[in-house]
């Protein structure tokens, strides 16, 4: 019992510490968000401002931007810890490492995924998405971005501290992210064709549950291998 509450305290402490670190480096934390908005702006410029086209590609473009921005922000999950040595404390700590990794992922999502969600309605406005489209897009992001962070944790744990880690991370993760992207944008496509997006959202939920179950274990194993 006491150990359980110890674990809970450790996780909460970890989340609080990570969020505190983020709040002390606000400019750095804002970068992925800025990147998200800028990439989403690239699409209308590259493809032309035709409202019909924009409404059609909107959910896909916003999702692609979210994916790229997540990729850029992932390294922050473990690199500061590697640099200041606190990652070794994590490895030595008596609590199960996968749960601690899950706490780190939570903190990462709160710091990067959540702001992304808050910015999305604004971008949806730029693309001229309907209310229904926007809601589905938000739902798919709510389900999808935590899965991105979870799978990303495995990638970061494998590559953190390597030379060219950022690019390597993208190479490892993009193929693995494909199903999430497919189901998320599939939901948007279904709405635009007047169908219910629930099938896609259900699949997305299933992927999230799967990632929630397995990714922390894989990431913990990767940290132990690299540590």
Partner 1 sequence: MMVHLASPREFYAFSLRWSRRIGAVTALLLFVGLYLGLFVAPPDYQQGDSYRIMFVHVPSAWMSLFIYSILAGAGAVALIWRVKVAEVVAAASAPIGAAFTALALATGSIWGKPMWGTFWVWDARLTSELVLLFLYLGYIALDAAIEDRRTASRAAAILALVGVVDLPIIHYSVEWWNTLHQGPTVTKLGAPSIHPSMLAPLLVMALAFTGYYLALMLVRARCELLVRERGSAWVQEIAAADGGTPP
Task: Give the nearest distance from C-beta 60 to partner 1 in angstroms.
Answer: 11
The yes or no reply on residue 209 touching partner 1 (CB under 8 A) is no
Please tell me whether residue 161 adopts helix, strand or coil conformation.
coil
Q: Minimum distance from CB of 125 to partner 1 (Å)?
A: 26
DSSP count for the chain of H helices, then E strands: 10, 0
The least CB distance from residue 3 to partner 1, in Å, is: 27
**Least separation in angstroms between CB 225 and partner 1:** 5
User: Residues 80, 96, 128, 179: which binds partner 1 (CB under 8 A)?
Assistant: 179
Region near partner 1 per CB under 8 A, out of 15-23, 50-58, 72-80, 210-218: 210-218
Give me the torsion for CA of 164, 169, 171, 177, rounded to 10°. -170
**Distances, alpha carbon 192 to alpha carbons 116, 132, 136, 144, 153, in Å:** 22, 9, 10, 19, 33
Among 186, 188, 197, 216, binds partner 1 (CB under 8 A): 186
Nearer to partner 1, 17 or 226 (CB): 226
Contact flags string 128-157 toward partner 1, x per CB under 8 A: -----------------------x--x---
194 lies in the site for partner 1, by CB under 8 A: no
Helix (H, G, I), strand (E, B) or coil at 49: coil
Could you tell me which residues come within 8 angstroms of residue 187 by beta carbon, excluding any fewer than 6 positions away?
A: 59, 136, 137, 139, 140, 197, 200, 201, 204
Q: What is the size of the binding site for partner 1 (CB under 8 A)? A: 30
Cα(87)–Cα(36) distance, integer angstroms:
29
């Amino acid at each position: 019992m006491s150990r359980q509450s110890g674990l809970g305290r450790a996780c909460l402490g970890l989340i609080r510490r990570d969020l505190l670190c983020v709040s002390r480096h606000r400019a750095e934390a804002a970068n992925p968000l800025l990147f998200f908005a800028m990439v989403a702006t690239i699409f209308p410029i590259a493809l032309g401002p035709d409202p019909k086209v924009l409404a059609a590609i909107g959910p896909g473009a916003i999702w692609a931007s979210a994916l790229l921005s997540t990729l850029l922000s992932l390294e922050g999950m473990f690199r500061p810890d590697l640099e200041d040595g606190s990652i070794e404390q994590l490895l030595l700590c008596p609590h199960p490492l996968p749960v601690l990794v899950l706490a780190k992922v939570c903190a990462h999502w709160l710091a990067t995924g959540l702001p992304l969600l808050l910015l999305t309605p604004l971008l949806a406005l730029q693309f001229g998405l309907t209310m229904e489209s926007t809601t589905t897009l938000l739902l798919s992001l709510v389900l999808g971005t935590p899965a991105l962070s979870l799978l990303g944790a495995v990638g970061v744990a494998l590559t953190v501290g390597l030379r060219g880690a950022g690019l390597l991370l993208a190479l490892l993760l993009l193929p693995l992210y494909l199903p999430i992207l497919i189901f998320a944008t599939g939901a948007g496509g279904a709405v635009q064709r007047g169908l219910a997006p629930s099938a896609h959202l259900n699949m997305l939920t299933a992927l999230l549950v799967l990632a929630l179950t397995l990714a922390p274990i894989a990431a913990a194993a990767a940290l132990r291998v690299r540590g």
